[in-house]
Amino acid sequence: MMIKLCLFGYGKMGKIIDGLSSKEGFTTHYIVARKEDFLVEKLLECDVAIDFSTPESAFENIVHCIKSKIPIVSGTTGWLDKIDEAKKLLGESPHSAFLYGSNFSIGANLFFMVNKYLGTLMKDQPYNLSLTEIHHTTKLDSPSGTAISIANDLLALNSNKLKWVNQETTNTDEIGIISKREHDVKGTHVVTYDNEVDSISIEHKAKSREGFALGALKAAAWLKDKQGYFTVQDFIAETLKQENKNI
């Protein structure tokens, strides 16, 4: 039986998700392209929702789903100042599920794992640490949600770094995130360790948005019968574990 999908947002990502949904066992039952399109009765007909809307709409969409007990996957960034409110509401609403990810690409999440491993090796080494993210000119938030996730992972590993800043920095207790906007770049992230002797970099470059869309659909299928709050890393870890069992 096809999974009935509610899709919040019908921009570039929404259209790609819609186009790929049937191949992944979904039928796009309801599209909320604009805030005025929302009808709770239509949402209640769906099995799961995916949100790739706008920073201004995402939180409200998530609240609608939690209250309606419709599992929701959100890949929208720029609204995370309210994520604790969403988690609190989730805790007050049994039988609801919410999964957030700044990046649903399987490759990008493997990059996160490599970043953590390299960060562990480099935390006491005499290198300056910086991060560059490049996206398309229509991206609304800066730095990207993925860049923030990468930087926060590094902050958790390195007690000498106190915060990230969205600019180049010479302060040794900061991680500088350099944001660039270029025409039709799908998403590039580079972590660089540099000193006078040498330089070490790791990079993830997205070639198309299909990787993000497929990851979001797979995460939605995974979330459909779950309860509680999850991250895309929870989904990736369980998926990799299952795949390794099958080898």
Q: Which residues are catalytic?
A: 135, 139
**DSSP one-letter code for 140:** -
What is the phi/psi pair of residue 99, to 5°?
Answer: -125, 125
8 Å CB contact between 193 and 128 = yes
**DSSP one-letter code for 215:** H
Q: Look at residues 63, 65, 147 and name the one whose alpha carbon lies nearest to residue 102.
A: 147
Q: b/e map of 22-55 (b: 16 or more CB within 10 Å)?
A: eebebebbbbbeeeeebeeeebeebbbbbbbbbb
Rounded distance, CA 198 to CA 126, Å? 11
